[in-house]
Structure formats: structure tokens, C-alpha cells
Amino acid sequence: MKSPPPEFEYLYGMHPVLEALRAGRRSCHELFLDENAAAGRLGPLERAAASASVPLRKTHKQELFNLCGTKQHQGAVLRASPFPYDALEDGVFERPRLLLLDNIEDPRNAGAILRSADLFGFDTILLPMRGVTEIYPSVVKTSAGASEHLRVVRAANSTRYVKRAKDCGYRVVALDMAGGMDLSDIPPQSDRPLLLVIGGEDKRVGQFILNEADCVAKIPQQGHVNSLNASVAAGIALYHFQVLG
């Protein structure tokens, strides 16, 4: 029997906690701060909590560790509701650019990709129900809180997302090291909306998507290592397709 989802989770780290408070998309129940932090260091968090009417408690580092289970809390832990995913029907396929993460299992890679997505204006992310990490606190931490400003859908598998995008007229571009064309040869802008698909390091983009994509692109490499980290490759592709001006 599947256990019910948790009512809350503990976000940690100064930037993730601050962005969660600023975004206001989660229900924030209580902010815990290091009672021995240097004067003023956690001031932005205190002000954000006050602005959002979130209770604040000063405590010691051991309790912070006990709450979030890691030493990477930087003196700040926030008890908040789980990540608020968007529904698939919330106008998702009316948006000009979508990013699909396919087979991205490593939370660190996922968080780094979300940080780049926010930076380069890809504000809608599609996550499959399986084979991809959820937006756990560790993902929020690696994204430096950027995830809190993104619209993330987790409601179907990758095949369904791609079929829906194709039906809605999207240009589907998949990134794959064995792609038939260089990324730089693909026009960044088009009169069609874009679905960009990024695969994992251990598992590439699924074969159905590679077959259905309008373009399967590779990033030319000149070094001695024959593959890029997934998050680095994603950052290059996201930069290529950002819309300037």
C-alpha cells in the first residue's frame, strides 16, 4: 500500500530558504535559524519571514542538523509544505518554451539544470512520473532556490508529454551526444513553440523521443573526455535557445 505524501518537508540553505519565502508558493510553517550566526548574516531571512508572517525560532546547529539531516543547512532550515507541482492542464502547452528532463536521476544534476533553466528563461519544466528525481529539498538546495520560481509539471510519462507537444505544434529538440547535427546549426528562434529535451548521463533520452524529435542535436567536443556532465550540457543548450531582448 502506497504511503500518503508528507504534509511538510524541511528546506535548508540560505538561498533556498530565502527564495521559498520570497516566492510564496508553499505554505511555510516555521523558520529555524542558527542562534550563534554572525550578526546580520541571516538578516535577509529574518526580514523575509516577518514579511511572510512565518514564525521564527533561533536554535542550535545540532537541532538544525536533526531537522534536515545534513550539515549543509548554512544556519537556516524552513519547515514548509511539499513542492507545489502544476497540473498538466494548466495552460502548459500554450507556453512558448518547455523543458523536459528525461532520465535525470541525480538530484544534483536536476537542481543545477533548474538553476540554469531559471537563468535562461525556461520557466516551465516537465518531469516524468518515473525515472527522474522529484523536487526534493536537495534539489532545491542545488538549484539555489531557483526551483521555487519555476512551474513544474509531474503528471505523465515522457512519451505522453512529447506526443502532446507534437499535437500542439511544438518543435521538439532532443540533446544527445550521438545527434545528427550540431546544436549550433539549429536556429534558436522559430515561429513554433519549443520543447527541449535533456537526458541523463547513464540513460540517454528515450528512443521514442529521439525518433519523434524534429532535431536531435549534439554539442561538439574537442577535449579528451567524451561526454559532458548532464547539467553542463543542459546549460549550453538552454543558453543557445534563450530569447534575448
Return d(Cα 206, Cα 218) in angstroms, integer. Answer: 15
Task: Look at the alpha carbons of 42, 43, 49, 50 in this order and tell me if their dihedral is positive or negative.
Answer: positive
Coil vs helix vs strand at 181: strand
pLDDT of residue 225: 66
What burial class does residue 55 get, using C-beta atoms within 10 Å of its C-beta: 0-12 exposed, 13-18 middle, 19+ buried? exposed
> Which residues, listed in sequence order, are joined to residue 57 by a DSSP beta bridge?
32
Coil vs helix vs strand at 244: coil
Nearest-10 crossing angle of helices 43-51, 14-23: 20
Return d(Cα 191, Cα 197) in angstroms, integer. Answer: 19
Determine the straight-line distance between the first and last CA of the chain, rounded to whole angstroms. Answer: 51
Q: What is the largest CA-CA distance in the chain?
A: 57
CATH classification number, 92-241, choose in 3.30.70.1140, 3.40.1280.10, 3.20.20.140, 3.40.50.720: 3.40.1280.10
Residue 167 · residue 64 · CB < 8 Å: no
pLDDT of residue 226: 62
Can you give the pTM of this predicted structure?
Answer: 0.92
Q: Where are the domains of the chain?
A: 9-80, 92-241
Return d(Cα 20, Cα 22) in angstroms, integer. Answer: 5
CATH classification number, 9-80, choose in 3.40.50.11540, 3.50.50.60, 3.40.50.300, 3.30.1330.30: 3.30.1330.30
Residue 127: phi, psi to the nearest 5? -115, 130
What letter represents residue 44's amino acid?
P
Return d(Cα 86, Cα 187) in angstroms, integer. Answer: 30
pLDDT tens for each residue of the chain, 245 residues long:
455 667 899 999 999 999 999 999 999 999 999 999 988 899 999 999 999 999 999 999 999 999 999 999 999 999 999 999 999 887 999 999 999 999 999 999 999 999 999 999 999 999 999 888 999 999 999 999 999 999 999 999 999 999 999 999 999 999 988 888 999 999 998 999 999 999 987 778 889 999 999 999 998 887 766 667 889 999 999 999 997 54
Residue 98 · residue 126 · CB < 8 Å: yes
* Cell numbers standing for residue 43: 538578516
pLDDT of residue 148: 98
Coil vs helix vs strand at 156: strand
